[in-house]
Structure 1
Amino acid sequence: MKNLEKLLREAVIRGQPRSHRAWKKILIIVEGIYSMEGSIVRLPEIVALKKKYKAYLYLDEAHSIGAVGATGRGVVEYFGMDPADIDVMMGTFTKSFSASGGYIAGKRELVTYLRTHSHSALYATSMSPPVTEQILRVMKCIMGRDGTLTGQKRVYQLAHNTTYFRQRLSELNLITYGNEDSPVVPVLMYMPTKVGAFARHMLKKKIGVVIVGFPATPIAEARVRFCISATHTKEMLDRVCF
């Protein structure tokens, strides 16, 4: 946060690099859950800095929408924040919604502008009806508007699985990154030479993991990333830990 405030202060004081004219807009771009670190953004502090320096906030909820918060509404709900404090909210439909595509939410003026000026939206093929229906059904499920408690139960189950799996890894004295409530769980491997062997070992055991090394991470911080799901059973999680 200190580094971010330093960058904001310098941007306000010095302006643009050559002309030193004041910036028309200063945009802070953050992720809800950082995919390589498993860290949940410190949103209250980010919003406070945004308001202090009159900047704009762009929040990428790709890994957090449908995964954190009491009812799965992401990090804004997780911290009890007002969604109006976020200028641009972006997310994907490929994870929690099991579909394709994504979304950008904001003020009506912003969305209208993007619809008429964004080439990727203007010239792209429209989302197919089956995919659209899948997204709507899942959204209603998560929000409880389908008349069931399925969505709420899955949100609770994901939180339980996350806590349990992180606890098991801690008992094995493995070094993990990220927030305790983050379903993205990176486990440090350190030695680059282990990465390939571990990937083959996991494939042989039919355990799906994401192996990440240099240049996506520092060369000495290679890691395996586990992505926890609400459908994982205790037996499945135990099997990974043995």
Structure 2
Amino acid sequence: MSSSFTLISSILQRKAHKAGDARQARPHGATPPVVDPDLTGFASHPALVKLRMLTAAAERLGIGNPFFKVHEGSGGAVTRIEGKEYLNFSHYNYLGLNGHPQVNRAALEAIARYGTSVGASRLVAGERPIQRELEKQLAAVYDAEDCIVFVSGHATNVSTISTLFSSGDLILHDSLIHNSALEGIRLSGATRRAFPHNDLKALDALLASSRLQYKRVLIVVEGLYSMDGDMPDLPALVAIKRRHGALLMVDEAHALGVLGATGRGSAEHHGIAGTDIDIWMGTLSKTLAGCGGYIAGSRDLVDILKSAAPGFVYSVGIAPPLAAAALTALRIMRGEPERVRRLQDRSAFFLRLASKAGLNAGTARGYAVIPVILGSSRKAIALSNQLFAEGINVQPVIHPAVEEKAARLRFFVSALHSERDIEQVCRSLARMVH
């Protein structure tokens, strides 16, 4: 489908909708309908009512609200909140590149050359060299033919999945897959089936019983799970998708810069070829110190998305300073593998100390994401507040984001954290939990 065809089709659809609206319009002078006043505003919206109830309950229990703290500088291993410095474990600054002088300088130079915005979608406003260079370098990370960058990581999954799959297709996903993938599946109209977390036998059985009932079949997993810090058996997944004639999509949002000897992610970590995976997805907001998302894979895949994915066709192109920041961060990652080694060493150190202290880290493998599972939302919030009072910033993850029994604190480790920082946190945790 060409981009011009996409735009023309959209115009025709809008005209058809307008014509339909005109036919359904009420006759002039007809008595207006009586509408419940609660439906003309948001004060009684169910989502707001629920929020107010939760807020009131938190106040009664004296546990406060640990969210939406205002940080007064760049996020890193240390942050400043209300004029006070805190050890920070609530930022995805995995390799410590957010605020790096080279990254900042690249963003400023891009602003000087291109401005702060490209002003329109890339179909309308055209390409900028910095955008295409970022895509080429990301494609090279996965040994892929091409790559496409979106302005939002969440929209990357939503637009990609909903564009490529439709009614008559089947999408199988890990039960802990990210909301963005779930939204993309919902919008696609494809049949959705979840399999238990990292249970590849269950996945294989699902495919064996249902593959031939559908046209295209997609398997969606994460390279490193952002909630539990564990990972799937990717070589086994590749074998399963080949055996059943399926496609495999891997979300690398938390794997790039974290897994693999040089930070190239899941393929490098598991020793597989980049071409073994049909759709590589990732984000620019974590290791790469920017904002946005990307899809890497075959040229056919990228051509489809460039002409038909709503999150690309109808969205402004990535801003030049963000593209420049991500590109520079990627080059630093490739040129300084010691950052990756330091992150991996610090993460493994955290997991060892937590385990030694009797803290429940679940199935975490010791790669950047370390949960401490507490089994109670109230306890998770209270402990987050206690740590904050001692100069440590870490966010709780509570129901309904996870099951109540899985409520937790979730620590994101950076290459900038020292062993002393981690020892301090684990000592405090052990004292407060036990």
State the TM-score, normalizing by the size of structure 1.
Answer: 0.91
Query: Which stretches in structure 2 are left out of the alignment for 5+ residues?
Result: 1-199, 428-434
Amino acid at match of 2:311: S
> Counterpart of 1:5?
204
Select the structure of larger CA radius of gyration: 2
Amino acid at match of 1:113: I
- Return the alpha-carbon distance in structure 2 between the equivalents of residues 32 and 194 of structure 1: 30
* Residues 102-122 of structure 1, C-alpha deviations (whole Å, 9 max, x = no match): 110110011011011011101
Greater relative contact order, per chain length (Cα 8 Å cut-off, separation 6+): 2
Amino acid at match of 2:370: V
* Displacement after TM superposition at 1:27 (Å): 0.2
Superposition pairs of residues 1-242 of structure 1, within 5 angstroms: 1-13=200-212, 15=213, 23-144=214-335, 151-242=336-427
Q: Which moved more, 1:179-188 or 1:1-10?
A: 179-188
* Residues 62-81 of structure 1, C-alpha deviations (whole Å, 9 max, x = no match): 00011110110011110100
Q: Residue 77 of structure 1 aligns to a residue in which SS? A: helix
- Return the alpha-carbon distance in structure 1 between the equivalents of residues 406 and 366 of structure 2: 22
* Displacement after TM superposition at 1:124 (Å): 1.1
* Displacement after TM superposition at 1:238 (Å): 1.2
> Counterpart of 1:147?
none
Contact 1:30–1:41 (CA under 8 A) maintained in structure 2 = yes
* Displacement after TM superposition at 1:179 (Å): 3.9
Q: Which moved more, 1:54-63 or 1:230-239?
A: 230-239
Amino acid at match of 1:170: S
Q: Residue 220 of structure 1 aligns to a residue in which SS? A: helix
Q: Which moved more, 1:228-237 or 1:175-184?
A: 175-184
Contact 1:157–1:230 (CA under 8 A) maintained in structure 2 = yes
Amino acid at match of 2:285: T
Contact 2:377–2:397 (CA under 8 A) maintained in structure 1 = no
Contact 1:90–1:103 (CA under 8 A) maintained in structure 2 = yes
State the TM-score, normalizing by the size of structure 2.
Answer: 0.51
Contact 1:40–1:182 (CA under 8 A) maintained in structure 2 = no
- Return the alpha-carbon distance in structure 2 between the equivalents of residues 133 and 205 of structure 1: 37
- Return the alpha-carbon distance in structure 1 between the equivalents of residues 408 and 334 of structure 2: 34
Query: Which stretches in structure 1 are left out of the alignment for 5+ residues?
Result: 16-22, 145-150
Amino acid at match of 1:192: S
* Displacement after TM superposition at 1:241 (Å): 1.3
- Return the alpha-carbon distance in structure 1 between the equivalents of residues 409 and 204 of structure 2: 32
> Counterpart of 2:185?
none
* Displacement after TM superposition at 1:200 (Å): 1.2
Amino acid at match of 2:377: P
Root mean square deviation of aligned Cα: 1.2
